[in-house]
Every structure is written in C-alpha cells, then in structure tokens.
Chain A
Amino acid sequence: MSDLTDRLAALAARIDAAVAAAIDERALDDVRVTYLGRSGEVTAIRRSIGELPNAERPAAGKTINDAVVAMEASIDAARASLERKKLDAMLTDTIDVTFPPKPAILGSLHPIRTTIEDATRYFERHGFAVIMGPEIETDDNNFDALNIPPDHPAREGHDSFYLKGIELLLRTHTSPAQVRAMRANPAPIAIVNPGRAYRRDEMDARHSYMFHQMEGLLVAPGVHFGHLRGMLTGMCRELFGAEQAVRFRPSFFPFTEPSAEIDTTCPGCAGAGCKTCSASGWIEIGGCGMVHPNVLRNVGYDPSEVTGWAFGVGVERIAMTRYGIDDIRHLFENDPTFLAQLA
C-alpha cells in the first residue's frame, strides 16, 4: 500500500514539474495524455491493483482516484491560469480607432417622398386612406366633374398638356383621383391623395411643368371647416414642428365653396416675419374649402345628406420651405450630394 502511495506521490511530483514547465494549453494537453491518458502512467498504476489482495483493492482504488482528481485539478488550475494570461495579454492590444472605415453604401428617399410621407402620416393615423391615380385623365375627371365646365375662366390657370389625337390630358391637379374615389365609393369617404400633376409652366426657380400635390378629402354627415383646420394644423405640425398654426384666407376655387388659401406659420421666423414670408409671418401652402354641392352631385353624393371638405397643397413648395431649397429645379436634378444632404 505504501508502495502505491509512493508511486502516486512520485507521479504527482512529475506532473507538477511538467505542468510548471508547460508554456501553453497544448503542452498541458500533452501532460494529461502522457500521465493520465489511456496509455499513461496512471493506467499502469490502476492495473497494479489487480496484484493486491481482494480486501485491499477498494482502499487502493480510492487512493488512486483521489490522487488522479488532485492531479487533474492541478492541470486545470494551470490551464485557467494560462487562459487568464492570454486574455490579459489581449487587453494590451491597441488599434487606431480613428482610422476611417470603408463607408457602407446608403440609399435614400427623395425629399419629395419624405415630405409626402410626413404629410400623409397624420391623416393615416386618423383613419384616412391614401390613394393614387393615373396621370393621363379625361376632361370630365379633371375639370367638368369638379365644376369647371369648358370656357370656365378657372381653366386658364390650369394651362393643360393635351395628348395628340386623343381627347385626354395630363392631369393638372391630383383632384381627379378624388373624383374617381368618390364615384367608386359611397360616402362617408376619407382620403388623401399625393401624386404628380402637370401644367404648361416654363421651368424657372419657382415653377416646374411637373410637380407634386398632396390633396385630402373628407365627405361625411356633419363635416365642417373646423375639422379641416384641425387636420391641416396636425399635418403642418408633422411637417414643420409642434408650434405651427394654420390660418385661412378667403379665396376662390370652382370646386369648393367657401374656399380659402391655407397659410401656416412661417417656419423660418416662427411667425415673427422674415424674408421667406415677406414679413407676414405666414407662408401659403395651398388651397382648400368645403366641397361645392355641384361636385357632390356630379359624383353621385347627396349634398343634403353629407358635407365635405377638400384641400390641396404643393409638395415642392413645402419641401423647399422645409429644407431651405431656393430653386425647385434642384429637386429634379437629383445631384447625389443634394440627395445625401436631405436623406
């Protein structure tokens, strides 16, 4: 038995020496395999139990097992120490974190889309659907249904592009989409409709023959001007900031009665008066009014049952005000630097 103890002690001593000499985890693995592995020395010692009398075998087994556990613990402790040293060594590494990375390629949405989405968002939250429509339209949808018969002076302000050989035109406003929606759906109806429109305007800093409008329409029993001002105020706050107010100025559109121009607080000066707003403190963003009874009748609604309002704002005008763009043509030139600035 003491012989066994001695052998184990000697083995432990050799293992300790080898562990102390091991410089990495692989060397430790070698130590384990060499001394504690299948063909290692400890196996020979285990086998030697067979030479002992039966009565001594359990005690000898326990002695061996205890010794092996201790040896393995010694190896594990060494391993843990090595790992710690390696991690500590890693912590001393330093890199130049200011070295410029290769930039990720970013896409962007056009400021016109961003403006439209910001404008529609408020209405969507309040149950309005967002619709679109074709850009080639009939005189009926673009004019007649909207209470603008042929020879009406208001057609003049909508100098239209007509198609060659066909009595169709490029819509001069997005309102025909509203006509289509009203004809396809019974009241009540609550929609906003952004999109492109076209008028025969020469391109300059403030005009483009192609432009975007965003219109809204609510027809239901009991709808009045107060609901319009409330919704437009909400939209302007979404577009320009939480302090915006909305003012109506009387105006004329054939498709609404009463009609008004929509002014909102000039975001440049918060209403104090500046160059942008010609010192008035207000900027005009579009027109609105209560839907003319003739229009309601034209689309099959009953003006004695329902009232409605409609509005239309110029998306480019709003985008230019929001982003401080001085020339509408920037919006259609798509310079990548310009687009990146506004993304």
Chain B
Amino acid sequence: MLAPIAWLRDYVDLPDDPHAIADALSLAGFPTHIAVTPPVITGVVVGTIVNIEKHPNADRLQVCTIDVGATEMLTIATAATNVGVGQVVPVAKIGAQLPEMTIAPRTMRGIASEGMLCSAGELGLVAEWFEDGIMQLDSDARNGADVVALFGLADPILEVEVTTNRVDALSMVGLARELSARFGTELRFPETYVTYGGARVEDGVVVTRSFDSLDLRVTLESTDCRRFVAQRVSYVDVRPAKAWMQVRLALAGQRPINNLVDISNFVMLELGQPLHFYDYDKIEEQHIIVRDARDGEPIVTLDGEERTLTPTALVIADKNGPTGLAGLKGGQVSEVSATTRELVIESACWVGSRIRRMGTALGMRTEASSRNEKNLPIGLCDIGAARAARFLEIEGGAVHMPRGFGRTMGFPTIVDITKSDISRILGFSVTDRELMDSLGKLGFGVDTMLTPELIEILDLDPKDIENVKSFEVRVPYWRSDVSIAADVVEEIARVIGYDRVGLEVPAVAPHAVSSAPFDRERTIAHTLAALGYRELVTLALEPIGVTERFRTAGIDVPALVEIRNPLSDDQRYLRFSLLPAHLAWLAPRRALADARAFEIAHVFALGPDGMPVETALVQWMRSASAIAAPNGGTEPGYLTIAADALAFVRTVLGRSATIARGTVPGLHPGKTGAIVVDGIEIGYVGAIDPRLTHAYEIERPTYAAFVFIDRLPASTMPLFTQTSKYPAIERDLAVVLDPTINAADVAAAARAAGDDAIQNVSVFDEYRGAQISSDKKSLALRITLQRFDATMTDAQADAAIAAIVATLRERFGATIRE
C-alpha cells in the first residue's frame, strides 16, 4: 500500500526524517520502504488571478496579474488557455526551482514576465491525472502560501506491506495509529461531524424536507452481510474534487475522477472502509436488497464488463435485478453520473470469506475487495459513512440521517492476561506501567482487577501479587485479530520492541525423535561425492513430453501424478524418474568424457488404488569415455559403475552387496544388475537403455544406478571376529564353462564348495576366443585359503582346490583350463 507521508501527517505528528518513519513502521510489523522521493521544488506559491489581458504582440499569449499575497502583484504571461480571473493557481516566482527548470526573469514578446503559472505535471504530479493547463487550487488557499508545504509535496511516499491479519492498518489512519504508538504522539482522528440537512435555498425558496432517510429501505437476505449502513445525500453537484483531495489521492496512486468518486476512494484509503455510492433515483422503489445471485443472472459492472453470476456471488439488487457485486464492484445500472442529484452511500461490512470466494470465482480483485475479504470491523461502517457524509456536505450536499441494518457493534472482546503470560512467552518481564502504556497507545483499554482495596482485603504478600495480578484488556473494535493472551503479548512486544529478547540456549531434554533418515541421506550424499559424483538439484515438475519420449522409445512409464492447476504445461506432471532430468543435463555436456552426477529426490507415481506413491530415490549416473569393445561378457563402463555401487553399499550400510541379474525400465535389459543386500533388491545398476540415450542425442555409453532409500536395511553394528594368525595363500584357477552362467553364481558356488579353508573366491577375468571352444567362456578365479589352526600345507591347499573344481564341474559342467 502506498502511504504518502504528507497524508499520514494529517493524523499524527511525525519526525522530519522519512527513514525514521519507515523504520518505525517496519519495526511495528509493517515492512516499509521509501517508494518515491519527490523532486526538489521551491519558490512556488499560491496566487489569485486578479486581471487578464490579451498580450499586445502575441495572439496566443495572455498577460495575467496575480495576487501572491502581501500586496505583491506579479505580471505573468502565459500560453495556457484555461486561465480565468478569480482562479487560484500555483505560481512559480523568479528563482523558483521546478523539477525540469529554474524560473528566471524573461521578456515574452516585449512584456517582462515575473514567473510562471504551473501545471500539475510541473509540480511532479502525474500530469494526465489532472486538468490540462494550469492547475486549479482551492479557493480558500491563502495567497502567498508555499504550495509545496500546502500539499506536502516534499514528503516521500512510503510503500507499506500490511500482513493479512491487520486489515485495520490498510489505511492512513491505521498506519498513523501505529506511528502514534511508536513515537508517543497523539492520533488526530478525522472529523465526522455533519449537520443533517440544514436549510437549503432552491430557486429562491427555502426548502425544508425530511432528512431522516426513512424513504430508503434495505433488506438483508444474506447473513454474509454483517452490517449495511445506507445514507442518502441530496443536492449533489458532480464536479472536480477539492485540489488537496486530488493531490492526496494522486500521491497515493489513485487517479482523481470527480468529487463523488474521489470522496469514496479517499475515505477508503483514509479509514479503510470501502464505500459505494448509488444514484438514488436509479434504485427501483428506493429499495436495496442484499441477496445471493441467481444462477445465470447477468450484471454489467462499472468497468463495462458483462458478467454472468452464480449463487456464489452476493449482490446488491433492487426489484429489477443486481445493481452491484457486494464488496467487490458496483454495477452500471445505478452508477452515479454527471446528472446525479441525489445519492445513497453504502458502507457495509461483509463476511470476508464470502467476498474472497466470490472474487476468486469471478476472477476479480479490487481495492475494495482486498479489504472486504479480510473481515472488516463492524464498527467501521458507521464511521466510514459519516466521514463520506461530511465531505459531501462540504461539497454542498444535504445529508440525511444514516440508517443501519444488520448487526451492530457488539461488546468489546476482553482478554485477561498476567505478567507471567508475558515472561512465559517473551522470556523477559515488563512493568505494570509498560504493560498499560504499550497497550493504551494502541487503543486497548487495560484494567487490573487486583485493586489496592482487594489486595488489602485478601492480605496478599506483594511478592505474590506480581504473579497473580491479572489485567483485563479490552480490545478496540478495529482489532478483530486480537482474541487470546498470546495476541495481547504480541501487541506489548510490538510497542516495546523485540530488542529486549535475550540470547539463550535451551537445554533440550532427551526425546525419541530419530534423525536416522536424515543421517542416512547425508551419508549417501557424502559417499557419492567422495566417489567423484557431483550433486544436482533438478526441478520436480515436467511436461508430458518427457513421458512421451520414454513411450516412443518403447520404455514403460508408470501412471503419472498430474497437477490440477499447473502454471504451464511444462510443469504439469510430477517426475516419475530422475533419469530424464539427468539425461537432459548430460545432453548439452555430451562432450565430457566422464561426466558424473547424482541426486537424492522423491519420484512420484499413481499406485493401483489411484493414490500417489512417493518414493525417495538416490540416482547416480556416469558417461563412459568411449564405446569400449566388449571384454567378453562384460564392459568396462558397467564394471566401473557397479564397483561404485558396491562401494556405496559398503560405505552407507557397512556391509557387502551382491549384484544379481535384474531388469528395470530405463536400463538396458541385458545390462542391468539388481543390487542385493540381505536378499532384498535395494536398487539397480546398469547401462542406460540405448533407446533412451539416443532420444536425448547421447551416443556415448552411459550408465546409471539407483537405490530406493526406504528399502535400505538399517545399518548394523559391526562385530569383531577373530582373524587367523597363520598366513593366507592365494591360488588362481581358470575354468571353462557355458557363457550364460553368471560369474557371481560361479564364485558363490566355489565359496560354498565345502572346505573350511576357503575364505574367499573372486572372479577377476573373463576370456573368450581362439584358445577355447567358441561356445564357451573361461573365468579366472582367485581363491583365498587360510586356516585358523595352522599354516596351510600344499596338500591341504590342493584338497580345497579339488573340492572347488569338483563343485563347479557338478554344478556348471565346468572344466579346468590348463
């Protein structure tokens, strides 16, 4: 919200320094910065045109004589066409400084001109918002008065953020009230006094009429209208508003229109109460009805748009149909216009959520609705109407008695607090004086029920009084956000300031919440970083194109989780895999020989029951340097990432994994291993499906592994086992067997050959080629033998090897390769 400091000064005395004002609001909970610092303007005074003559030597110039006070008369030639005798105008005297120029004496076609008459634009205002030509000032302005001081044009304009709970502060008076509490100065509440009706003279005849508004009827058919104040004003002339009001509005970013619109906007910005003016004569039978809209009912709003309503909408209607959207916008049918002679002020209070729903349904938001949707205080309706009535009276209107319908302001909310409530929440204590002062400055009433008499009767120890003394806090009508003790404590803290809050470290009692998942994620991340992978953070929403790429490549995709209200089609689906994001990341970097990336994130799919399933995943990916010739039944790129997988499990879980043959969408069907720990497939490792890499224009062999974090077994406490003090020996053995037999199965069978001395068997090489039958492969095994009771003898080693050979022959038909 834009708050011109000049406008705020109308209600409260403030320091000169605009930064002090901005800081005060910020520290009161309204983040504020200086939005506009006005240009320097000096030497412009109020003047009255007392004479105009045509310039003797120039058709387009007129020579004005201007009274600028103190019997000083200036002669000023002007090309402006809107000047007339009696007008009060801004006069830039010789030496005056304007944003664009400095005024010097000059001779215009032979006549010495002693200054310049100014337009609104020349005073730094938005030129298009004001009358063309010379700006017209109010007739009661004193000649010679400084125009900058008159309008506060030297004061900056603040941009103030108001939190949603503080609708009372969405107004100049609301902000001024906060500033008065911060600076300890008095709030000057706007004048709302009117003389209802009064004597009026029409066509030379004194007219007396009833000004009781009784001919105006309002029927509230919806309880979503909490209060409706209607007030009739007669004898209204539509014309430009007073200059000071136009300038105030313009500084606050509101374009001046005419006196009626401007008064309604002014009161809304000043007090926070949105108003609407109806042309009295355009309300059928002068009977206003507030009701739900009927389905399909049309309305043309003030902006000229025809809208079709549903019962979500709340309308202000007459017998003939809707005349306005409640709390949102008026309708054309009852619009005030240049011919309006009588009007009705509507000052109403709505159930905020209803206005919000209606605005959302209609896709509309206005200055009025942004306030009405936040539950304005009921008590503000009557004040808002009265303030508008006062201005209309000044404009010459005859004001009728207001009529209020619906609820009236109830009793104030009472909150009881003790000083221990304050120290319990804030950690510091306040004195009675501070408590009462800080609340009092904000308009709260404070009483303590523990009067001195009561203390005497109860014979209380002064020490105890501090703890039990209760304060009864009466919440002012405009603060509907305050209802419990914590709210009141916040008000006290806002005035006193949070600076008094100490720096303490809590002693946290032992509790049962486990950090294990976070600890595990941290270990996972650090492990992969240590293995040379860079962590990525990619975005979770994807277009359908990602899925189509998979499907086109012939790869299965799970049922996707779709966003109901995406910002764009590019962000319509939650990712089902991390592969697309990582391939998209790799594609422009395909020249990198060994790109490595990992990410820990959630992936999403719909389960069979139609509910979304969220899976925590870690994926790592690396590209190989080149398409290496297959080394028999395996390939180097696969072996490298598989080694990383085994190292990963070893580091993260503290135990060993095995790799079994597996398949998973996205990885090559013949080059995928399942990572198995304790018989559970915790994830997969393999070559990325070449159809997929091809779709991303990546021709390098690229490998990926992913592990389902929730499938990881708990890491176990490792237990010490006695090592042998006798030396281990290693024997190598080459066996020839069918190429479809997995190396892991051979090693496992060899380990289980039944000789206690066999500590480990690993496969370290594979051979296919001329030296063996073309339908066979040869695996090289390294066997570690060790006994716990003695050094192995050659004979014992031979026996163990023989047992392995026998087992492999029996299980796989393997023969020894000599």
Which interface class (under 10, 10 to 19, 20 to 34, 35 or more) fits B? 35 or more
Q: B559-588: contact bitstring with A at CB < 8 Å (1 yes, 0 no)?
A: 001111111000100100000000001000
Q: Is A45 engaged at the interface, CB distance under 8 Å to the other chain?
A: no
Tell me the complex Cα distance, A156–B26, Å: 22
Q: Does A227 contact B (CB under 8 A)?
A: yes
* CA–CA, A190 and B509, complex, Å: 9
Q: How far is the CA of A50 from the CA of B530 in the complex (A)?
A: 73
B362 within 8 A of A: no
A230 touches B503 (CB 8 A): yes
**Residues from 164 to 207 in A contacting B, C-beta threshold 8 Å:** 164-166, 168, 170, 181, 185, 188-191, 194, 196, 198, 200, 202
Q: Could you say which of A110, A222, A252, A343 contacts B166, with CB atoms under 8 Å apart? A: A252
The CA of A249 and the CA of B161, in the complex, are separated in Å by 13
Taking CB atoms, residues of chain B closer than 8 Å to A208 are: 539
Write out the residue numbers on chain B whose beta carbons fall within 8 Å of the beta carbon of A259: 490
Q: Are B564 and A107 in contact (CB under 8 A)?
A: no
> Which of B501-529 touch A at CB < 8 Å?
501-506, 508-515, 517-519, 521-522, 525-526, 528-529
Binds A, one of B28-36, B259-267, B280-288: B28-36
Binds A, one of B113-121, B422-430, B718-726: B422-430
Chain B residues with CB under 8 Å of A286's CB are: none
**Is B536 part of the contact surface with A, judged by Cβ < 8 Å?**
yes
Considering only residues 116-164 of chain A, those with a C-beta below 8 Å from chain B are: 117, 120, 124, 126-132, 134-136, 150-151, 153-154, 156-157, 161-164
A339 to B536, CA, bound (A): 8
Interchain CB contact under 8 A, B427 and A224: yes
A336 on interface, CB distance cutoff 8 Å: yes
Contact (Cβ within 8 A) B530 A163: no
* Chain A 196-246 residues near chain B, CB threshold 8 A: 196, 198, 200, 202, 208-210, 218, 220, 222-231, 233-234
Bitwise, A283-310 to B at CB < 8 A (1) or not (0) is 0000000101100000000000001000
Instruction: Kindly provide the distance from the CB of B818 to the nearest chain A CB, expressed in whole angstroms.
Output: 36
- B424 smallest CB distance to A (angstroms): 6
- Contact check, A129 vs B357: say whether CB atoms are below 8 A apart: no
Q: Which of B484, B531, B585 contacts A257 (CB 8 A)?
A: B484
Q: Do A107 and B533 touch (CB < 8 A)?
A: yes
Give chain A residues whose Cβ lies under 8 Å from the Cβ of B531.
107
Of the residues B490, B498, B508, B612, contact of A218 by C-beta under 8 Å:
B508
- Nearest to B505 among chain A residues (CB) is A230
Residues of B within 8 A of A202 (CB): 567
Q: Are B511 and A113 in contact (CB under 8 A)?
A: no
**How many angstroms between the C-alpha atoms of A108 and B620 in the bound complex?**
13
Does A258 have its Cβ within 8 Å of any Cβ on chain B?
Answer: yes
* Shortest distance between the CB of B377 and any CB in chain A (Å): 15
User: Could you tell me the distance between the alpha carbons of A190 and B480 in the complex, rounded to whole angstroms?
Assistant: 33
Interface centre among B511, B531, B540 (most CB of A within 10 A): B511
Give the distance in Å from the alpha carbon of A234 to the alpha carbon of B508 in the complex.
15
Complex Cα spacing A129 to B517, Å: 10
Smallest CB-CB separation from B499: which chain A residue?
Answer: A247
Establish whether residues B561 and A129, one from each chain, have CB atoms under 8 Å apart when the complex forms: no
A248 — nearest CB in chain B belongs to which residue?
B498
Collect the chain A residues with CB atoms within 8 Å of residue B427's CB. Answer: 224-227
Does B489 contact A258, Cβ atoms closer than 8 Å?
A: yes
Expressed in whole angstroms, the minimum distance between the Cβ of A294 and any Cβ of chain B is: 9
Say yes or no: is B139 at the interface (Cβ < 8 Å to chain A): no
- Tell me if B602 and A223 are in contact (CB < 8 A): no
In the assembled complex, B772 has its CB within 8 A of some CB on chain A: no
Using Cβ atoms and an 8 Å threshold, which residues of chain A touch B511?
Answer: 127, 129, 185, 188-190
Query: How far apart are the CA atoms of A157 and B353 in the complex, in Å?
Result: 15
Q: A107-B534, A168-B612, A225-B426 are in contact. Are A250 and B498 (CB under 8 A)?
A: yes
Does B755 interact with chain A (Cβ within 8 Å)? no
Distance to closest chain A CB from B746 (angstroms): 32
Question: B163 on the interface (CB 8 Å rule)?
Answer: yes
Question: What's the Cα separation between A249 and B566 when bound, in Å?
Answer: 34
B513 touches A249 (CB 8 A): no
B26 proximity list for chain A (CB < 8 A): 249
Known contacts A185-B513, A258-B425; is A332 also within 8 Å of B489 by CB? no
Q: Are B540 and A290 in contact (CB under 8 A)?
A: no
Rounded to whole angstroms, the CA-CA distance of A299 and B753 in the bound complex is: 59
Q: Is the CB of B503 within 8 A of A153?
A: no
Closest chain A residue, CB of each to CB of B613: A136
| B484–A293 CB distance below 8 A | yes
Give B395-444 interface residues, CB cut-off 8 Å to A.
423-428
Interface residue B611 (Cβ < 8 Å from any Cβ of A): yes
- Chain B 471-509 near chain A by CB (<8 Å), digits 1 or 0: 000000000010010110110011000110111111011
Q: Kindly identify which residue among B487, B533, B564 contacts A164, using a CB–CB cutoff of 8 Å.
A: B564
Given contacts A166-B612, A200-B567, A259-B490, contact A210 B539 (CB under 8 A): yes
Chain A residues with CB under 8 A of B538: 332, 334
Whole-angstrom CA separation of A117 from B521 in the bound complex: 11
Residue A63 interfacial (CB < 8 Å): no
Check A248 against B490 for contact (C-beta < 8 Å).
no
User: Is B27 on the interface with A (CB-CB < 8 A)?
Assistant: yes
Check if A269 is an interface residue, CB within 8 A of chain B.
Answer: no
Within 8 A of B (CB), among A295-329: 307
Contact of A260 among B498, B561, B574 (CB under 8 A): B498
Distance in angstroms between the alpha carbons of A230 and B427 in the assembled complex: 12
A259 to B: closest C-beta gap in Å: 7
> How many whole Å from B236's CB to the nearest CB in chain A?
35
Chain A neighbourhood of B510, CB < 8 A: 127
- Shortest Cβ gap from B582 to chain A (Å): 9
Bound complex: CA of A339 vs CA of B537, how far in Å?
11
Contact with A along B371-395 (1 / 0, CB 8 A): 0011000000000000000000000
State whether the Cβ of A49 lies closer than 8 Å to any Cβ in chain B: no
Chain B 110-149 interface 0/1 with A at a Cβ cutoff of 8 Å (1 = within)? 0000000000000000000000000000000000000000
Asked if B532 is an interface residue, CB under 8 A from chain A, the answer is yes
Contacts of B574 in A (CB 8 A): 170
Chain A residues near B611 (CB-CB < 8 A): 166
* B539 / chain A contacts, CB cutoff of 8 Å: 208-210, 332
A239 CA / B259 CA spacing, docked (Å): 56
8 Å CB contact of A131 from B163, B509, B518, B541: B518
Write out the residue numbers on chain A whose beta carbons fall within 8 Å of the beta carbon of B604. Answer: 136
Whether A225 pairs with B498 at a CB distance below 8 angstroms is yes
List B contacts of A292 (CB < 8 A).
486
Asked if A109 is an interface residue, CB under 8 A from chain B, the answer is yes
Judging by beta carbons under 8 Å apart, are B513 and A113 in contact? no
C-alpha spacing A209/B566, complex, angstroms: 10
The answer, among B508, B512, B532, for a CB contact under 8 Å with A127, is B508
Give chain B residues whose Cβ lies under 8 Å from the Cβ of A134: 602, 614
B602 proximity list for chain A (CB < 8 A): 134-135, 196
How many Å lie between the Cα of A110 and that of B528 in the bound state?
Answer: 12
- Report if A278 contacts B (CB, 8 A): yes
Known A-B contacts A107-B534, A250-B28; the reply to A231 vs B506 at CB < 8 A is yes
Residues on the A chain within 8 Å of B536, using CB: 110, 334, 339
Cβ-based interface call for A82 (8 A): no
A112 within 8 A of B: yes
Which residues A72-115 have CB closer than 8 A to chain B?
104-110, 112-113
A120 proximity list for chain B (CB < 8 A): 518
- Closest chain-B Cβ to A153's Cβ sits at a distance in Å of 4
Partner of B33 from A104, A231, A233, A278 at Cβ < 8 Å: A278
Q: Which residues of A contact B518 (CB under 8 A)?
A: 120, 130-132, 194
Q: Besides A190-B508, A332-B539, 8 other CB < 8 A contacts?
A: A105-B532, A105-B596, A151-B356, A185-B513, A210-B540, A227-B505, A228-B501, A249-B31
| 6 sampled A-B residue pairs with Cβ under 8 A | A105-B594, A151-B353, A170-B574, A209-B539, A224-B427, A247-B498
**4 nearest interchain CB pairs?**
A226-B427, A258-B490, A250-B29, A151-B353
B interface with A by C-beta (< 8 Å): 26-29, 31, 33, 163-166, 352-353, 356-357, 373-374, 423-428, 481, 484, 486-487, 489-490, 493-494, 498-499, 501-506, 508-515, 517-519, 521-522, 525-526, 528-541, 561-567, 571, 574, 585, 589, 592, 594-598, 601-602, 604, 610-612, 614
